[in-house]
């Protein structure tokens, strides 16, 4: 059961990551300065949407074999992309990064994604159809990486090959730190949970002292309520 | 200028009202972020409003938030307190995430739009719903407002009497956690659908159920109207949404009606469990209808008004409205095109206006159905290569494009439309739509299943001109305004073949749209007369799980990801090569 849950989790998280990428590329398409760039981002976004569909379909096939109580936890919900960190509350990457850094980000992350899919390939090795679908996705990722590289070299010709390597090393390190940070956050969450619960318990005791019965507005003209009051 | 915003709980949105009290711009955040049901602070929407109307923070006289943040924070906590230790996780989560709740509204405004934080007003949540509905009503006084939603900032259901826009007296309310909206959402969750998205599916599924079945009765008995105390009663032993982070229903509900549905299993009409789940949905729908009938009756008793404003998320339950409208004391029910929380940004903006203008002008015009301003010029340049590589131009003159669309529809094609400004609410009314011949079973089936991948038990809505609607459907005079925005279903007329239209539901109803003059759909229906096509099937231009398209790029993306072949745009008709 634990293995199955891990499998579902990998598929859900990968689908979420791909969906996040699709939205990032769509945002890049909409803010492009040239129609040729917009075309590239559009096609990239379309591919990422299709990858999401593939992973959700693999997830769905596995989750329907599970008891409903467990399967319910693996429903895909696009709003959770914010809390899972696949999208930032501050905006899309294209809105917060310089264009050069954004392209570098795509260049390195597509390669890293391809590498991570090799791990997923091992998980689905017994299923011919899923294996093929993931191999196709890996090819797409390599193609996206190639486009980003081409773009990079065309528009930033002064960049040396070592600089591309530097970008990759930087992103790899960032990804590792992200994973460590995520792990620590979860660990801290577990360790500190009793404290949070205790704080919540005392917090709510204080709140219980606040009399909310006067919040009842029956018989009152709602337009006369104070408009600067948050209560 | 006056801004209104809604966020943090359900879909977020921003609305702009001008100095004369007219709604001039409105965006749902999900349209711009492309994240379905996006509830984050509507930064993009406000920014877009500023851009499209050449405004800055100095031009805004006040900005109104759609609820009282502290009440919205305190009331669920006080309820959870009664259920310690079971509710401790929920309580600690509320405290840990206070920065994602309405309490952070002030900070978010000051961070994103410095200067605006000094102009914030806070309106009672149900009042913002009432005002949203009032904006869409010709009549501005002697009205009864019924607000029914999941949870506002204190109550879940309320009845108010609107003496004038400046005097709205609340006469009755129902306190959290007893909630029609949360009851329906818990059943939605039980049936394996996504909460806040799947409620439409439950409504569609309910028509296949037998409300007299044993299981259905068990569900409908959980929620009832107590006539003696004039209260809604909900047996909370079966629900956990007020005490648990993860479960909206309790284990007791499982022992009452069986195991919840696995959300990943397809729900097909002939499956062995289909009837069981349909009966559960029918029970929930029956309970909602019964309570609403009682609420309208009680509202009439205490206000004496025959004209109703109906808003809140539950007002989107279009299948219940038809029965309500038959009550003998009802002259009119106004349901805004976006009756849920996203739409309440309009009410909040209107509150700002009313608070700053003590002399109400009766000259305020009713808002348009397409208030989200969209300028396509930039998109035309941006999509040049996408279109030249992957689309074939059929025509770039609009009159010729319309004629061509008529021909294509008559030959059984489905057409995507992305023209002009976009709609207010969740229902596509023609500017961001997928349309086809409403009498062609194959075309409707292609639209529903191949393009949209919708559940087979959810019908597509038909749209038509008024005279055609009168010919095929039993229209309720009280709902004429609601029909313009697909706000209510109606019954197929006996003696006509409307029952057999692919847009009619199994219970012989249809969620019709009566098109207004000077709209794209009306123009197309005029052209289609020569092909004897009177009705179009109309669904939103999006794919399952995505928000309705906002701009041309979104529309082209639907073509790229689905078998949709044709798209009508502001600069012509195109055929997809994908």
Q: Is residue A132 situated within a structural domain? A: yes
In this complex, the residue of A30, A36, A229 whose CB is nearest that of residue B385 is A36
Q: Is residue A68 situated within a structural domain? A: yes
**Can you tell me the mean pLDDT for B126-148?**
96
pLDDT band at A165 (very low <50, low <70, confident <90, very high): confident
Exposed/middle/buried for A175, CB within 10 Å: 0-12, 13-18, 19+?
middle
The residue with greater pLDDT, B10 or B385, is B385
Q: Is residue A167 situated within a structural domain? A: no
pLDDT band at B361 (very low <50, low <70, confident <90, very high): low
Contact status of B361 with chain A (Cβ, < 8 Å): no
Q: pLDDT per residue over B300-316, tens digit each?
A: 999 999 999 999 999 99
Q: What is the CATH number of the domain that holds A155?
A: 1.20.1260.10
**Can you tell me the mean pLDDT for B125-152?**
95
Q: pLDDT per residue over B153-173, tens digit each?
A: 889 999 999 999 999 999 999
Tell me which residue has tokens 């050069």: A100
Is the pLDDT assigned to residue B509 strictly greater than 90?
yes
Tell me which residue has tokens 């809105």: A95
Contacts of B516 (CB under 8 A, 6+ apart): B369, B484, B522
Cross-strand bridge partners of residue B27? B14
The residue with greater pLDDT, A228 or A157, is A228
* Average pLDDT across chain B, whole number: 94
Is the pLDDT assigned to residue A67 strictly greater than 80?
yes
* Per-residue pLDDT, B431: 96
8 Å CB contact of A223 and B354? yes
- Estimate to the nearest angstrom the gap between the alpha carbon of B16 and the chain centroid: 19
pLDDT band at B362 (very low <50, low <70, confident <90, very high): low
Q: Is the dihedral of CA B400, B406, B410, B414 positive or negative?
A: positive
Chain A nearest CA to B195, separation (Å): 10
**Can you tell me the mean pLDDT for A58-78?**
93
Is the pLDDT assigned to residue B470 strictly greater than 70?
yes
The CA distance from B197 to A79, in Å, is 12
Closest CA to B525 of B405, B360, B445, B434: B405
Chain B nearest CA to A138, separation (Å): 19
Q: Which residue of A has its CA nearest to B76?
A: A204
Express as a percent the part of chain B with pLDDT over 70: 99
The CA distance from A55 to B480, in Å, is 45
The residue with greater pLDDT, B477 or A199, is B477
* Per-residue pLDDT, B52: 94
Whether a cis peptide bond, with omega within 30° of 0, leads into B177 is yes
* Per-residue pLDDT, B196: 87
Closest CA to B4 of B312, B350, B311, B335: B350
- Residue B416 structure tokens: 């995507």
Q: Is residue A90 situated within a structural domain? A: no
Stretch among B69-83, B117-131, B466-480 having the lowest mean pLDDT: B69-83
Is the pLDDT assigned to residue A112 strictly greater than 90?
no
> How many CB atoms within 10 Å of residue A83?
12
B 370-399 → A contacts, CB under 8 A: 381-386, 389
HEC letters along B313-380: HHHHCHHHHHHHHCCCCCCEEECCCCCCCCCHHHHHHHHHHHHHCCCCCCCCCCCCCCCECCCCHHHH
Contact status of B174 with chain A (Cβ, < 8 Å): no
Is the pLDDT assigned to residue A210 strictly greater than 90?
no
Is the Cβ–Cβ distance between B419 and B431 less than 8 Å? yes
The CA distance from B173 to B165, in Å, is 20
8 Å CB contact of B69 and A230? yes
- Residue A184 structure tokens: 């620590």
Is the Cβ–Cβ distance between B526 and B515 less than 8 Å? no
Q: Would B2-66+68-122+341-356 and B180-334 be classified into the same CATH topology?
A: yes
Q: Is residue A57 situated within a structural domain? A: yes
Q: Which residue of B has its CA nearest to A38?
A: B382
In this complex, the residue of A72, A77, A207 whose CB is nearest that of residue B74 is A207
Q: pLDDT per residue over B270-279, tens digit each?
A: 888 999 999 9
How many cross-chain Cβ pairs, A to B, lie less than 8 Å apart? 187
Contacts of A61 (CB under 8 A, 6+ apart): none
How far CA B404 is from CA of B386, B511, B572, in Å, comes to: 22, 27, 10
Contacts of B115 (CB under 8 A, 6+ apart): B57, B58
8 Å CB contact of B386 and A228? no
* Per-residue pLDDT, B189: 96
Is the pLDDT assigned to residue A196 strictly greater than 90?
no
Contacts of B428 (CB under 8 A, 6+ apart): B434, B538, B539, B540, B541, B548
Interface test with A, best of B61, B80, B95 (most A CBs within 10 A): B95
Contact status of B259 with chain A (Cβ, < 8 Å): yes
CATH architecture of the domain formed by B2-66+68-122+341-356: 2-Layer Sandwich (3.30)
Closest CA to B164 of B129, B184, B137: B137
Closest CA to B546 of B459, B453, B449: B453
Is the Cβ–Cβ distance between B341 and B9 less than 8 Å? yes
B 308-347 → A contacts, CB under 8 A: none
Contacts of B84 in chain A (CB under 8 A): 201, 204
The CA distance from B482 to B335, in Å, is 6
The CA distance from B257 to B277, in Å, is 10
Contacts of B343 (CB under 8 A, 6+ apart): B13, B132, B311, B336, B337, B424, B425
Stretch among A1-5, A67-71, A107-111, A193-197 having the lowest mean pLDDT: A1-5
The CA distance from B441 to B489, in Å, is 20
The CA distance from A4 to B429, in Å, is 44
Phi, psi of A159 (to 5 degrees): -70, 135
Is the pLDDT assigned to residue A208 strictly greater than 90?
no
**Can you tell me the mean pLDDT for B225-232?**
95
Q: pLDDT per residue over B99-130, tens digit each?
A: 889 999 999 999 999 999 999 999 999 999 99
Q: Averaging pLDDT over each range in A182-186, B120-124, B396-400, which range is the top one?
A: B120-124
DSSP, collapsed to helix, strand or coil, labels residue B169 as strand
Is the pLDDT assigned to residue B152 strictly greater than 60?
yes
Cross-strand bridge partners of residue B474? B491
CATH architecture of the domain formed by B180-334: 2-Layer Sandwich (3.30)
Cross-strand bridge partners of residue B310? B146
According to DSSP, residue B102 is labeled G
Parallel/antiparallel/unpaired status of strands B391-395 and B536-540: unpaired
Q: Helices B69-81 and A161-208, interaxial angle, to 10°?
A: 70
* Per-residue pLDDT, B496: 93
Chain B nearest CA to A211, separation (Å): 10
Expressed as residue numbers, the domain containing A14 is 2-84+97-159
Q: Is the dihedral of CA A91, A96, A101, A102 positive or negative?
A: positive
In this complex, the residue of A82, A216, A231 whose CB is nearest that of residue B40 is A82
Contact status of B84 with chain A (Cβ, < 8 Å): yes
The CA distance from B65 to B348, in Å, is 6
How far CA B308 is from CA of A58, B161, B482, in Å, comes to: 49, 9, 12
* Per-residue pLDDT, B531: 96
Contacts of B194 in chain A (CB under 8 A): 75, 77
Supply the Cα-derived Rg of chain B in whole angstroms. 23
Topology classification of domain B377-576: DHBP synthase (3.90.870)
Is the Cβ–Cβ distance between A113 and A134 less than 8 Å? no
8 Å CB contact of A38 and B385? yes
Q: Is residue A62 situated within a structural domain? A: yes
**Can you tell me the mean pLDDT for B548-566?**
96
Is the Cβ–Cβ distance between B180 and B158 less than 8 Å? no
Contact status of B75 with chain A (Cβ, < 8 Å): yes
Q: pLDDT per residue over B184-194, tens digit each?
A: 999 999 999 99
The residue with greater pLDDT, A178 or B411, is B411
Is the pLDDT assigned to residue A102 strictly greater than 90?
no
Parallel/antiparallel/unpaired status of strands B432-437 and B167-175: unpaired
Supply the Cα-derived Rg of chain A in whole angstroms. 23
The CA distance from B521 to B429, in Å, is 8
Domain ranges of chain B: 2-66+68-122+341-356, 180-334, 377-576
In this complex, the residue of A42, A79, A212 whose CB is nearest that of residue B78 is A212
- The structural domain count of chain A equals 1
Closest CA to B313 of B199, B156, B149: B149
Stretch among B72-76, B84-88, B357-361 having the lowest mean pLDDT: B357-361
* Per-residue pLDDT, B163: 94
Q: pLDDT per residue over A6-47, tens digit each?
A: 899 999 999 999 999 999 999 999 999 999 999 999 999 999
The CA distance from B199 to B473, in Å, is 25
Q: HSE of B259 in the Cβ direction (CA atoms, 13 Å)?
A: 11
* Per-residue pLDDT, A1: 53
According to DSSP, residue B546 is labeled S
Stretch among A186-200, B72-86, B462-476, B490-504 having the lowest mean pLDDT: A186-200
DSSP, collapsed to helix, strand or coil, labels residue A202 as helix
Closest CA to B177 of B257, B90, B255: B90
Cross-strand bridge partners of residue B175? B155
DSSP, collapsed to helix, strand or coil, labels residue B429 as coil
């Amino acid at each position: 059961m634990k293995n199955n849950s891990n499998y579902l989790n990998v598929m859900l998280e990968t689908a979420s990551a791909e969906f996040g990428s699709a939205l990032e590329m769509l945002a890049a398409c909409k803010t492009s300065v040239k129609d040729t760039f917009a075309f590239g981002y559009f096609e990239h976004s379309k591919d990422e949407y299709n990858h999401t569909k593939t992973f959700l379909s693999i997830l769905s096939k596995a989750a329907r074999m599970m008891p409903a109580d467990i399967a319910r936890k693996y429903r895909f919900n696009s709003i959770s992309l914010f809390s899972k960190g696949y999208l930032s509350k501050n905006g899309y990457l294209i809105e917060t990064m310089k264009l050069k850094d954004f392209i570098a980000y795509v260049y390195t992350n597509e390669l890293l994604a391809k590498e991570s899919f090799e791990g997923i390939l091992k998980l689905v090795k017994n299923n011919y159809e899923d294996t093929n679908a993931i191999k196709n996705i890996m090819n797409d990722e390599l193609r996206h990486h190639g486009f980003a590289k081409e773009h990079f070299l065309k528009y930033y010709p002064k960049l040396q090959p070592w600089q591309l390597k530097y970008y990759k090393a930087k992103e790899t390190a960032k990804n590792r730190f992200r994973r460590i940070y995520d792990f620590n956050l979860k660990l801290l969450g577990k360790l500190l949970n009793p404290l949070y619960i205790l704080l919540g318990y005392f917090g709510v005791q204080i709140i219980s002292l606040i009399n909310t019965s006067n919040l009842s507005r029956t018989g009152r003209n709602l337009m006369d309520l104070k408009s600067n009051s948050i209560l | 200028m006056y801004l209104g915003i809604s966020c943090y709980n359900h879909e977020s949105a921003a609305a702009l009202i001008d100095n004369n009290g007219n709604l001039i711009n409105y965006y749902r955040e999900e349209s711009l972020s492309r994240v379905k049901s996006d509830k984050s602070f509507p930064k993009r929407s406000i920014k877009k409003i500023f851009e499209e109307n050449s405004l800055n923070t100095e031009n805004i006289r006040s900005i109104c938030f759609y609820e009282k943040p502290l009440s919205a924070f305190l009331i669920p906590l006080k309820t959870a307190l009664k259920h310690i230790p079971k509710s401790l996780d929920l309580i600690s989560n509320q405290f840990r995430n206070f920065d994602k709740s309405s309490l952070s509204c002030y900070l978010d405004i000051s961070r994103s739009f410095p200067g605006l934080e000094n102009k914030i007003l806070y309106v009672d949540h149900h009042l913002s719903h009432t005002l949203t509905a009032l904006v869409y009503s010709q009549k501005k006084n002697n009205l009864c407002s019924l607000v029914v939603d999941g949870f506002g900032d204190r109550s879940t259901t309320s009845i108010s009497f609107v003496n004038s826009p400046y005097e709205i007296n609340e006469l009755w309310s129902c306190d959290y956690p007893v909630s029609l909206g949360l009851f329906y959402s818990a059943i939605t969750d039980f049936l394996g659908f996504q909460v806040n998205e799947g409620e439409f599916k439950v409504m569609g599924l309910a028509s296949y159920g037998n409300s007299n079945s044993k299981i259905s009765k068990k569900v409908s008995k959980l929620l009832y109207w107590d006539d003696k105390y004039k209260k809604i009663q909900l047996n909370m032993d079966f629900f956990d949404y007020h005490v648990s982070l993860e479960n909206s229903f309790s284990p007791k509900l499982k022992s009452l009606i069986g195991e919840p549905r696995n959300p990943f299993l397809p729900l097909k009409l002939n499956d062995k469990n289909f009837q069981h789940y349909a009966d559960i949905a029918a029970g929930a729908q029956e309970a909602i209808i019964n309570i609403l009938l009682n609420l309208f009756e009680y509202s009439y008793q205490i206000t004496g008004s025959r004209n109703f404003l109906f808003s809140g998320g539950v007002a989107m339950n279009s299948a219940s409205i038809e029965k309500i409208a038959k009550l003998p004391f009802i002259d009119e029910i106004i349901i805004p095109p976006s009756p849920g929380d996203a739409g309440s940004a309009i009410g909040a903006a209107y509150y700002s206006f009313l608070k700053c203008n003590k002399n109400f002008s009766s000259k305020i015009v009713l808002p348009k159905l397409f208030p989200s301003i969209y300028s396509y010029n930039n998109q035309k340049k941006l999509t040049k290569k996408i279109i030249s590589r992957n689309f074939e131009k059929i025509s770039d003159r609009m009159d010729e494009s319309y004629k061509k669309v008529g021909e294509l529809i008559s030959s059984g094609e489905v057409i995507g439309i992305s023209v002009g400004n976009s709609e207010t609410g969740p229902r596509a009314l023609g500017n961001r739509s997928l349309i086809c011949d409403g009498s062609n079973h194959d075309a409707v089936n292609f639209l529903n299943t191949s393009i949209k991948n919708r559940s087979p038990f959810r019908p597509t809505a038909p749209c038509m001109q008024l005279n055609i609607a009168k010919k095929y459907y039993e229209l309720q005079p009280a709902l004429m305004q609601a029909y313009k925005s697909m706000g209510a279903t109606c019954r197929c007329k006996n003696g006509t073949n409307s029952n057999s239209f692919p847009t009619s539901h199994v219970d012989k109803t249809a969620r019709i749209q009566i098109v207004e003059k000077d709209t794209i759909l009306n123009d197309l229906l005029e052209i289609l007369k020569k092909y004897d096509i009177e009705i179009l099937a109309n669904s939103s231009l999006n794919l399952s799980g995505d928000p309705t398209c906002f701009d041309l790029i979104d529309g082209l993306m639907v073509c790229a990801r689905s078998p949709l072949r044709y798209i009508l745009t502001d600069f012509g008709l195109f055929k997809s090569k994908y």
